[in-house]
Structure 1
Amino acid sequence: MKEFADNNSEGVDPDALRGHVALKGFFNICTEWRCSSEEAALLLGGVSVETLSRYQTLPHQKLERETLKRISYVLGIYKALRTLYPTAERANHRIRLPTDDSPFNGQSALEYMSEGSLERLRQARQYFEALKTL
């Protein structure tokens, strides 16, 4: 089986490579969800404009554990939505659709998650994962 290698990853610290891959996935999702810079920054925990700009260059950089956790939740939500809805368009629309379901209580999932807390990201992921079992 052929191994695929990132040409830019030779000699890069594994933690830095992990950060690069996580940020790449995160920003690809943000593009699909049409997140503003403010929304992206809030999903990452309210990072500064400077930090967000640096992250958007997809550096090979070790990320804080909480940042990786946040990105993991976003990836899980994205995966759950893609499983629940037959098209990317519908899945991406759902993240912005207001719902009275708990925990969102009239907000869209993206609005709810953009309030910045790690707990809200966890709850949103738990919600969408639970929908997959219905």
Structure 2
Amino acid sequence: MTATLQAPAFTKDQCAAGLRTAVNILEKWQASTEQACRILRISRSTHARAKLRNADWSVSLDPDQMQRVSFILNIHAALRLIFDNPENTYGFAAMPNHNEFFNGRSPLEVMAQGDMISLYESFRRIDSLRGAQW
């Protein structure tokens, strides 16, 4: 007999709340609709519904999509710890970054490539600025 581990299931309401928050953060980071959809791996229609902030709206997200939402929330939390002014907290993601990994691209550009590795590495590099050790 083999045991399989399953990721905890999220309710549709939890998915909607997380997605709304991530979309709001990406909007404050000045991400385009296309960038946000690639980062979160969602359709344009789901993105549009998430922006409506309709309390009755719910959505099912798969584990990959929820992990992407989690990375956006955690990057935002790290930026709030690093910076004490909104201009940097919300502007950092769109600023060109000349550190080795970003090579002159903004974190938003890198994350918008749409693959999980780019999103994870962007999170890891930004989180390390607050002194996090991996």
Class of the TM-score when normalised by the shorter of the 2 chains: 0.7 to 0.9
- Secondary structure at the residue paired with 1:112? helix
> Percent of pairs identical after alignment?
26
User: What residue number does 1:50 align with?
Assistant: 45
Secondary structure of the structure 1 residue equivalent to 2:129: helix
Match of 2:5 in 1: none
Q: What amino acid is aligned across from residue 90 of structure 2 in structure 1?
A: N
TM-score by length of 2: 0.81
- 1:65-76 counterparts in 2 under 5 A? 65-76=63-74
What do you get for the CA RMSD once the two structures are aligned? 2.0
CA distance in 1, matches of 2:72, 2:34: 16
- TM-score under structure 1 normalisation? 0.81
Q: Verify: 1:40 aligned to 2:31, yes or no.
A: no
Distance in 2, Cα, partners of 1:54 & 1:14? 19
Asked if the contact 1:23/1:56 (under 8 Å) is kept, the reply is: no
Tell me the distance in 1 between the aligned counterparts of 2:44 and 2:127.
31
Asked whether the 8 Å contact 2:23–2:47 carries over to 1, the reply is no
1:1-134 equivalences in 2 (<5 Å): 15-45=11-41, 47-57=42-52, 59-133=57-131
**57-66 vs 24-33, which deviates more?**
57-66
After TM superposition, give the deviation of residue 53 of structure 1 in Å.
2.8
Q: Which runs of 5+ in 1 are unaligned?
A: 1-12
Change (3 A) 1:127 1:100: same
**Distance of 2:121 and 2:10 partners within structure 1:** 29
Where do 4+ consecutive residues of structure 1 move more than 2 Å? 47-59
1:42 partner amino acid: R
Compare 93-102 and 110-119 and name the one that shifted more. Answer: 93-102
Structure 2, gaps ≥5 residues long: 1-8
